[in-house]
Amino acid sequence: MLNGQETRPPVDAVLYLHGFNSGSESPKAQLMRAACKRIVHQGKALPCSTPQLPQRPQAAFEAAQAALEALGSNTLVVGSSMGGFLASCLAERFDLAAVLLNPAVRPAHLIDELLGTEFVNDYTGERFTVDAAHGEELARLVPPRLDPGRYLLLLGTADETLDCRDAFKAYTGCRTLIEPGGDHGFSRIEKHLPAILAQGGHCLTPYS
């Protein structure tokens, strides 16, 4: 297990990292904030940060790290797709528990298929084009190893963007929840929120 993870106290905050070309107001980010508001920790709602991440990988990692530093070291980091990759980078560097939703595996290689493609972010209106620097930055961020004891992995078998088998192999040995027919956006995340928060030592009570 992760350096005594079984005896760790409940986390003091949750950091949610959105995926590539997504945003801090995505449906999953909103659900995470709403779920944390339902948890009372130290006399108040459990803090949850869902920062808007820059499109450049290094800048995105630095923004995620800054958000983590603002929350404190006892934080559960949750990431979706490319955000899952960044969550792994933070988790390994700062010894954190993490939850990964359809995480990107070897994202530098994925970038090769997108070179020259122009995107518009629906949440910010930003326009950008993927270039070789995206892949170079991602390659430099890859953790030297992954400790399976720190992760809860959620995979959708019908992911239309990533092959879930890649993540299953890369995170061999970690706790895994498989959603039959689940899509890349993990649109059925709401039913898994109790498991996600339990990874941080909290019990999400059902709606009354």
User: Quick check: is 52 in a domain?
Assistant: yes
**Token pair of 195, please?**
């498991």
The reply to whether 64 falls in a domain is: yes
* pLDDT tens-digit profile, the chain (208 residues): 344 445 679 999 999 999 999 999 999 999 999 999 999 999 999 999 999 999 999 999 999 999 999 999 999 999 999 999 999 999 999 999 999 999 999 888 888 889 999 999 999 999 999 999 999 999 999 999 999 999 999 998 877 677 778 889 999 999 999 888 766 667 788 889 999 999 999 999 766 5
What's the pLDDT score for residue 91? 98
Residue 150 in any domain: the answer is yes
What is the reported pLDDT for 2?
45
Q: What is the pLDDT of residue 157?
A: 81
Give a yes or no: residue 183 inside a domain.
Answer: yes
Q: What pLDDT shows up at residue 3?
A: 43
What is the pTM assigned to this prediction? 0.93
Domain ranges, residue 72: 12-198
Please report, for the domain that includes residue 53, its CATH number. Answer: 3.40.50.1820
Side-by-side strand order, sheet with 48-49:
48-49, 13-17, 75-80, 98-101, 151-156, 175-179
pLDDT reported for residue 4: 42
Question: Does a structural domain hold residue 188?
Answer: yes
pLDDT on residue 207 = 60
- Is 2 a member of any domain? no
DSSP annotation of 185 reads T
Task: State the pLDDT at residue 161.
Answer: 73
- Is residue 24 one of the residues assigned to a domain? yes
Amino acid at 73: S
| pLDDT of res. 68 | 98
DSSP for 76-101?
A: EEEEETHHHHHHHHHHHHHT--EEEE
Q: How many domains does the chain have?
A: 1
Domain-located, residue 6? no
